[in-house]
A and B are shown apart, each in its own frame.
Chain A
Amino acid sequence: MSFGPDFASALAAAKRGDQEAQAHLYRAFQPKVLRYLLAQEPKDGEDLASEVWLGFGAGLDRFEGSESDLLCWIFTIARRRLIDHRRARARRHAVSVSIETLALPSDEFDPSSSLEHGEALSCLGMLPREWAEIVLLRVVAGLDSAEVANVTGRKAGTVRVIQKRALERLAELLSAKHEKAVTQ
């Protein structure tokens, strides 16, 4: 969902407190935010998304920029909330759930979800966490490499190299998985 030329007026209205404009922004960005967070924290993703919008509301007055800038800002908030959440969980000495377990059935996921998605997340979980995060930001959040670089604080060139290596690793993993299935 893109605002196009209407973005500036929608943002201005949202800043003035127009609830319709705020709901419009929410509807535009919440699916991506929620998908990004649920892919990494299935149990707490929705709570984290709520916190993202809390931060969004707190800082909306000060935001200036384009639609792309707004998307980057929202995902910067989301990423920081995610990092804070993981740090807090580490302090509580909770067991860290690896991304591989995201493919396992849980109450949070609709059982009718496609098997392909489970396999996809399972394969993604075999990548280093930084690589997996970049792939998720590209594919699930719909950011381009420059925006991912902005969100993650890396150089755009570094992001492009990482995503290339991530896809190569994914190809290897899928190939190995396929061969294993054929031999069995």
Chain B
Amino acid sequence: MNLWRDLDYEMERLPLDVDTADRLLAGRVLPADAPPGYEAVAVLLGALRAHGEEQVFRHEDAVPVSVKDGRSSHLETMPTPGRSTRHRFKLAGAAFAGALVCTTGLAFAGGLPGAAQDVASSMLSKVGVTVPGPNDNAATHPSVRGYSSPDAAVSDDANANDESADENGGGKGAEISELATTTELTGVEKGAAISTVASGGKSKAGQQGEATADHGAATSGAGDGAATADDASGGRSTAGADNAATGQSHRP
């Protein structure tokens, strides 16, 4: 009597023809009817086909609100296991829009810092929106730059600075400006005069460096430098003495 496995050679797997393969894949061949050696394949394909029926419609209610009109809205109803990149883009866009609204509001109120107010004013003016500039209400001093609204809170420090500026230098700028535009002096003399007014008489600008034809002026200049050095050092300095004596100058 033969054992059942003695017939195994008769049940060896046969080459599959393309039509049978096609029918197996289409599910038209039951495992019991599959060619020898392909029963397991038919079972496997059936398992693949059957799987997911319960899984696919876990979110059966999640159907698109509208595929045509709400091309993005239907995504919100689609089952998504995690946050997608699209969701992050939406968040970033909302944050950007919020920042834009806040910045524009501050620009209208004139509450931005000076430089930012300046940029906002120039940018919005290009699109036809008028917002106050940083210096529209900034009095005459740069220390209040950026306080574009008369109602804006100007700090006590700023007021104090303004007052001290008036005490120390109030009107000096106008005086210098007038001198610069009305004086008949030119060249070194004009510069010396402006410098003298600006420094309150402390400046010695123009007293040195006058162009001369010989080395005499340079020697004289060196002598002046030596004198200044002597004054500064209480007579201990010897700077410039040798050069003054020999009449040589290192100045070009």
Q: Are A26 and B64 in contact (CB under 8 A)?
A: yes
Chain B nearest CB from A36 CB (Å) reads 10
Q: Is B100 an interface residue (CB 8 A)?
A: no
CA distance A49 to B24 in the complex (A): 27
Q: Are A46 and B71 in contact (CB under 8 A)?
A: no
Q: How many A-B residue pairs have CB under 8 A?
A: 147
Residues of B within 8 Å of A139, CB to CB, are: 25, 27, 45, 48-49
Q: How large is the interface on A (under 10, 10 to 19, 20 to 34, 35 or more residues)?
A: 35 or more
**CB within 8 A of B49: which of A25, A58, A140, A163?**
A140
Interface core residue of A14, A50, A123, A175 (most chain B CB under 10 Å):
A50
Of B50-58, B127-135, B180-188, B237-245, which binds chain A? B50-58
Chain A nearest CB from B228 CB (Å) reads 71
Q: Are A164 and B21 in contact (CB under 8 A)?
A: yes
Q: Are A168 and B16 in contact (CB under 8 A)?
A: yes
Q: Are A113 and B51 in contact (CB under 8 A)?
A: yes
Residues of A within 8 Å of B174, CB to CB, are: none
Of B79-87, B101-109, B192-200, B206-214, which binds chain A? B79-87
CA distance A110 to B54 in the complex (A): 9
**CB within 8 A of A50: which of B22, B49, B78?**
B78
**CB within 8 A of A35: which of B37, B43, B52, B81?**
B52
**CB within 8 A of B26: which of A22, A27, A39, A138?**
A138
B residues touching A (Cβ–Cβ < 8 Å)? Answer: 13, 15-18, 21-22, 24-27, 37-38, 40-41, 43-45, 47-57, 63-69, 71-72, 74-75, 78-82, 84
Given contacts A31-B57, A57-B64, A58-B71, 19 further A-B contacts (CB under 8 A): A14-B68, A17-B68, A46-B80, A49-B78, A50-B84, A53-B64, A53-B67, A54-B71, A110-B54, A116-B47, A119-B44, A121-B48, A124-B48, A136-B48, A139-B27, A163-B21, A170-B41, A174-B40, A175-B13
Chain A to chain B contacts (Cβ below 8 Å), 18 pairs:
A25-B67, A26-B64, A35-B56, A46-B81, A50-B84, A53-B64, A57-B64, A60-B67, A108-B81, A116-B47, A117-B47, A117-B51, A120-B44, A121-B48, A135-B48, A163-B25, A171-B38, A174-B40
A residues touching B (Cβ–Cβ < 8 Å)? Answer: 14-17, 19, 22-23, 25-27, 30-31, 34-35, 38-39, 43, 46-47, 49-50, 53-54, 56-58, 60-61, 108-110, 113-114, 116-117, 119-121, 123-124, 135-136, 138-140, 144-145, 160-161, 163-164, 167-168, 170-172, 174-175, 178
